[in-house]
Structure 1
Amino acid sequence: MSSAKISLGQFGLVILLAGQLLLQLDFSIINVGLAAISASLKASETELELFVSAYGLAFAICLAMGARLGDNFGRRRIFAIAVVMFGLASLLCGVANSVMFLVAARALQGLAAALMVPQILATIHVTLSGRDHARAVALYGAIGGLAFIVGQVLGGFLISANIAGSGWRSIFLINLPICVLILLCVWRQVPETRGQRNVPVDWSGTITLALLTLSILLPTALGPSLHWSWTCLLGYVPILPLTALLWRIERSKEERGSFPILPPSLVRISSMRFGGLIAIIFFTSWSGFMFVFALTLQSGAGLTPLQSGDALIALGASYFLSAVVVVPRLSDVRREAVLVAGCLIQMVGLCLLIVTLEWVWPNPGLVNLIPATALIGFGQAFIVNCFYRAGLADVPHEHAGSGSAMLATMQQVSLGLGPAILGAVFAETLQHSNLYLTAGTTTIMVELGLMVILLAAAVHRLLSQRGVAPVSAEVEAMIVVPE
Structure 2
Amino acid sequence: MNTSVVSPGRAGLILLLTGQMLPLIDTSITNVALNSITHSLQATATELELIVALYGVAFAVCLAPGSKLGDNLGRRRLFMWGVAGFGLASLLCGMAGNIAQLLAARIVQGAGAALIVPQILATLHVTLKGSAHAKALSLFGGIGGIAFIVGQMGGGWLVSADIAGLGWRNAFFINVPVCLLVLALCRRYVPETRRETPSRIDWTGTLLLALLLCCLLFPMALGPQWHWSWPLKAALIGTLPLGYLMILNARKKEREDAHPLIPLRLLQLNSIRFGILIAMLFFSVWSGFMFCMALTMQTGLGMAPWQSGNSFIALGVTYFISAWFAPRLIARYSTSTILLTGLSIQMVGLLALIATFKHWGMHNTALTLAPATGLIGYGQALIVNSFYRIGMRDIQPDDAGAASAILSTLQQAALGLGPAMFGAILLHALQNHHGDYTQAVNIFLIVETAMMLALALATLRMRQHLRLPVVKTCQAVK
- What TM-score results when the alignment is normalised by the length of structure 1? 0.95
User: How many residue pairs end up in the alignment?
Assistant: 477
CA drift of 1:396 comes to 3.5
SS of equivalent to 1:197: coil
Cα gap change, 1:147/1:223 in structure 2, threshold over 3 Å: closer, same or farther? same
Q: How does 1:331-350 map to 2 (within 5 A)?
A: 331-350=331-350
CA drift of 1:474 comes to 4.4
Mapped contact 1:401–1:478 kept (Cα < 8 A)? no
Mapped contact 1:400–1:475 kept (Cα < 8 A)? no
CA drift of 1:344 comes to 1.4
Aligned to 1:384: 384
Aligned to 1:455: 456
User: What are the Cα deviations for residues 55-86 of structure 1, in whole angstroms up to 9, with x where unaligned?
Assistant: 11111111111111111111121111111111
CA drift of 1:3 comes to 4.6
Mapped contact 1:389–1:471 kept (Cα < 8 A)? no
Rounded Cα–Cα distance in structure 2 between residues aligned with 1:55 and 1:119: 19
Aligned to 1:68: 68
Aligned identity (percent) is 48
1:214 maps onto 2:214 in alignment? yes
Rounded Cα–Cα distance in structure 2 between residues aligned with 1:338 and 1:404: 20
User: What are the Cα deviations for residues 169-203 of structure 1, in whole angstroms up to 9, with x where unaligned?
Assistant: 00000111111111111122222221111111110
1:279 maps onto 2:288 in alignment? no
Aligned to 1:470: 468
Letter in 1 for 2:450: G
Aligned to 1:192: 192
CA drift of 1:231 comes to 3.0
Q: How does 1:105-254 map to 2 (within 5 A)?
A: 105-254=105-254
Aligned to 2:80: 80
Letter in 2 for 1:237: I
1:479 maps onto 2:473 in alignment? no
1:329 maps onto 2:329 in alignment? yes
Aligned to 2:431: 431
CA drift of 1:284 comes to 0.4
Mapped contact 2:334–2:468 kept (Cα < 8 A)? yes
CA drift of 1:327 comes to 5.4
Mapped contact 1:157–1:306 kept (Cα < 8 A)? yes
Rounded Cα–Cα distance in structure 2 between residues aligned with 1:247 and 1:42: 42
Letter in 2 for 1:470: L
CA drift of 1:471 comes to 5.2
1:294 maps onto 2:294 in alignment? yes
Rounded Cα–Cα distance in structure 1 between residues aligned with 2:443 and 2:345: 20
Aligned to 1:440: 441
CA drift of 1:218 comes to 0.5
SS of equivalent to 1:258: coil
Using the TM superposition, name which of 416-425 and 6-15 deviates more. 6-15
Mapped contact 2:5–2:193 kept (Cα < 8 A)? no
Rounded Cα–Cα distance in structure 2 between residues aligned with 1:346 and 1:189: 40
CA drift of 1:227 comes to 1.4
CA drift of 1:392 comes to 2.2
RMSD (CA atoms): 1.6
Mapped contact 2:393–2:477 kept (Cα < 8 A)? no
CA drift of 1:450 comes to 0.8
Aligned to 1:89: 89
User: What are the Cα deviations for residues 421-444 of structure 1, in whole angstroms up to 9, with x where unaligned?
Assistant: 111101111122222222211111
User: What are the Cα deviations for residues 279-316 of structure 1, in whole angstroms up to 9, with x where unaligned?
Assistant: 11100000001000110111000011100111111111
SS of equivalent to 2:194: coil
Rounded Cα–Cα distance in structure 2 between residues aligned with 1:185 and 1:380: 34
Rounded Cα–Cα distance in structure 2 between residues aligned with 1:28 and 1:381: 16
Letter in 2 for 1:441: N
Aligned to 2:43: 43
Rounded Cα–Cα distance in structure 2 between residues aligned with 1:7 and 1:297: 45
Rounded Cα–Cα distance in structure 1 between residues aligned with 2:112 and 2:359: 43
Mapped contact 1:153–1:310 kept (Cα < 8 A)? yes
Rounded Cα–Cα distance in structure 2 between residues aligned with 1:82 and 1:255: 33
SS of equivalent to 2:226: coil
Mapped contact 1:327–1:382 kept (Cα < 8 A)? no
Letter in 2 for 1:66: G
Mapped contact 2:143–2:320 kept (Cα < 8 A)? no
Q: How does 1:345-360 map to 2 (within 5 A)?
A: 345-360=345-360
Mapped contact 1:57–1:110 kept (Cα < 8 A)? yes
Cα gap change, 1:471/1:66 in structure 2, threshold over 3 Å: closer, same or farther? farther
Rounded Cα–Cα distance in structure 1 between residues aligned with 2:98 and 2:338: 45
Using the TM superposition, name which of 429-438 and 351-360 deviates more. 429-438
Letter in 2 for 1:412: Q
User: What are the Cα deviations for residues 109-152 of structure 1, in whole angstroms up to 9, with x where unaligned?
Assistant: 11001111111122222222222222222222221111001110
Rounded Cα–Cα distance in structure 2 between residues aligned with 1:475 and 1:375: 27
User: What are the Cα deviations for residues 372-404 of structure 1, in whole angstroms up to 9, with x where unaligned?
Assistant: 111111111121111111222233344233222
Letter in 2 for 1:453: A
User: What are the Cα deviations for residues 11-42 of structure 1, in whole angstroms up to 9, with x where unaligned?
Assistant: 12221111111221112211111111111111
User: What are the Cα deviations for residues 228-251 of structure 1, in whole angstroms up to 9, with x where unaligned?
Assistant: 223321221211000000011112
Rounded Cα–Cα distance in structure 1 between residues aligned with 2:304 and 2:327: 34
Where in structure 2 are there 5+ consecutive unaligned residues? none
Rounded Cα–Cα distance in structure 2 between residues aligned with 1:460 and 1:309: 38
Rounded Cα–Cα distance in structure 1 between residues aligned with 2:447 and 2:467: 35
Mapped contact 1:93–1:105 kept (Cα < 8 A)? yes
Where in structure 1 are there 5+ consecutive unaligned residues? none
Rounded Cα–Cα distance in structure 2 between residues aligned with 1:300 and 1:473: 49
